[in-house]
Structure 1
Amino acid sequence: MATKLISGNFSADQLNQIVARIERLEEEKKALADDIREVYAEAKAHGFDTKILRQVIKLRKLDRAELAEQESLLEVYMEALGMTVDHSAADAEAAE
């Protein structure tokens, strides 16, 4: 196929190469998503809560300052909504 100038500074060959690369990467992304799904299924089979694992993964991506800020805001919001957890009662139960 002859390289033909379509518009501006790119050619049909360049466009085809870019599209082909994106398609390959999309296939790789799908394969990785399938692999991740399998790992979550394995974790579930071992008794882990996958919703909590997803939260842990999300939180581990944050830096310490962002994590502390989110935890602080969550605590404020939960307290404002009357959803506070009495840790002393939970600690007393655990001690028994």
Structure 2
Amino acid sequence: MSTDVGGVAADQLQSLIMRIERLEEDKANLLADIREVFAEAKSQGFDVKIMRQVLRLRKMEEHDMKEQEEILDLYKRALGMQ
């Protein structure tokens, strides 16, 4: 049976908080692993900034990517960069 404290189910709240804390710890470990992979890529001569851009582009829908490229081209032309 759950303990009610001021209308809050304390056991349930504690369980949720503990789950979030475990997930946050997992997330921190994953971020550390990703940093290690980027460091390895950099040590092998890859441009990490470009790799991050490629990853961002791979997550995008094709129509969104094309729209972004068209706007970038338009802005570059307006600034005399092409």
Distance 1:65 1:82 in 2: 26
Larger relative contact order (CA 8 Å, sep ≥ 6): 2
Which residue identity does 2:78 align to in structure 1?
Answer: A
* Bigger Cα Rg: 1
Structure 1 position 5, deviation (Å): 1.9
TM-score, length of structure 1 as denominator length: 0.80
What do the CA deviations read for 1:14-65 (whole angstroms, capped 9, x no partner)?
A: 0000000000000000000000000000100110000000000001000110
- Aligned mates of 1:22, 1:80 — CA distance in 2: 48
May I ask how many residue pairs the two structures share in their alignment?
A: 81
The amino acid that maps onto 1:5 is D
Q: Structure 1 runs of 4+ off > 3 angstroms? A: none
For the residues of structure 2 that align with 1:3 and 1:61, how far apart are their CA atoms?
43
Distance 2:75 2:20 in 1: 42
TM-score by length of 2: 0.93
User: Are residues 1:5 and 2:4 paired?
Assistant: yes
Gaps of 5+ in 2: none
Aligned residues with identical type, % of pairs: 52
Tell me if 1:54 matches 2:52.
Answer: yes
Gaps of 5+ in 1: 85-96
CA RMSD of aligned residues (A): 1.2
CA shift, 1:3, in A, is: 2.5
